[in-house]
Amino acid sequence: MNNKFATFAASVVVSGLSAFGLGLSPASAVLLIGNTRGDNVIMYDEQNGNFLGEFVKATSGGLKDPDDLNFGPDGNFYVSSGTTPETSAILRYNGKTGEFIDVFASGNGLIRPYGAAFGPDGYLYVASFLSDEILRFNATTGVFVDKFAQGNGQPGGLNGPNDLLLGPDGSLYVTTQGSVAVDGVPTFPGLPSQVLRFDLATKTSTVFIEQPTPLPDSPQFVSLLGLTLGSKGDLFVSDFANGIRRYDFKTGQLLDVLSTNYTNTPSNNFIGNLTIDPNNILYTVGFDTTNNNFGAILRYDEVTGNPLPAPSQSGSVFVPTNSRLLRPVGITYASITVPEPASTVGLLSFGALYAVLLLKRKCSQVI
């Protein structure tokens, strides 16, 4: 009787846990979001938009104003961090757990790193926003190599470098804000916000995309920010002032404009970086300047450009404005196993065990 009851009790526990999904493998498709006002990197389930907790805990390793998020060739997670010469760095974290490893690259004039990209030449390229430079570091050791490029305060120059992208043609693509750094402070002398293309071998640049016309929903300026390549080879560029533009990667011709306004007209929200998942879904983040800079996540069909709102949302809103998203800018898709929170497992296990004990008591009364 005891053995039979033990077997039955075990089956009740397993069935109870399975009913809550604890017998299944955890979801691994997540969106990682960099909170520039939370000093952390948080996770959302890429399938249903559920909040999954912190991937990199607040201020871990000195994390401050995280901006660009990248997985390196070694599988680790690299985050651009800091706003001053003393705090500016590329921080490295475990790519599976988010635990801090080290300060991978810093110093040598780096001030407010924005974009970063690992090149095919063994270098890590980093946009130093507040010094109008692109710095190169050894992609394995983090040792400083050289200043790859520097702004000149002229149209077509590296003025306020933002995101970086290594293209399939072997060139480095850079968005510029159009500002010029003066003593570590961005000034706006009316220079255009553009996409530049750099030859890695010669370090020379050309203007790939001129500053576009401000979009109707924008506050009537342009500040190009994020870069990503679509499945058909098109180049997607986000505009901090609102909108995502799709360009022909070979010619630089504008093909489409995706609206990112989800607040008002003109928009009260600004827009961050971009990421595309294996299912050709394009994601971006934004934050509402009239609501404590709380953020939201937007998504689109990357092929058609159509918005893909969550069932309870409208427009392109996947995750609505909420206080967990604190002025988000960085975003990337990742395949990470997210364990069930220990508290949830404990509570459900306790509940299942209590049910077993109650059942045992009733059985003993019957016997």
Distance of CA 285 to the CA centre of its chain: 8
Q: What is the DSSP string of 264-276?
A: -SS-SEEEEEEEE
Quote the CA–CA distance of 223 and 219 in Å, as a whole number.
11
For 131-171, give the secondary structure using H, E and C. Answer: HCEEEEEECCCCCEEEEEEECCCCCCCCCCEEEEEECCCCC
CB 283 within 8 A of CB 259: no
Q: How many CB atoms lie within 10 A of CB 154?
A: 11
Quote the CA–CA distance of 125 and 177 in Å, as a whole number.
18
Q: What share of the chain is helix, strand, coil (3-state, %, to 5)?
A: 15, 40, 45
**For residue 337, what pLDDT is reported?**
84
Quote the CA–CA distance of 34 and 54 in Å, as a whole number.
10
CB 186 within 8 A of CB 173: no
Which residues in the chain show pLDDT less than 70?
A: 1-27, 339-367
Q: Indicate the helix (H) or strand (E) that contains 290.
A: none
Quote the CA–CA distance of 206 and 198 in Å, as a whole number.
7
Half-sphere exposure of 158 (CA within 13 A, CB side): 27
Nearest to 257 by CA among 195, 219, 221, 300: 300
Residue 173 tokens, joined: 């693509």
**For residue 265, what pLDDT is reported?**
86
Residues 23-36: pLDDT tens digits? 334 558 999 999 99
**For residue 135, what pLDDT is reported?**
98
Domains of the chain, each with CATH number or no CATH: 29-342 (2.120.10.30)
**For residue 357, what pLDDT is reported?**
39
**For residue 339, what pLDDT is reported?**
62
Across 230-293, where does the E strand assignment appear?
A: 235-239, 244-247, 254-258, 269-276, 281-288
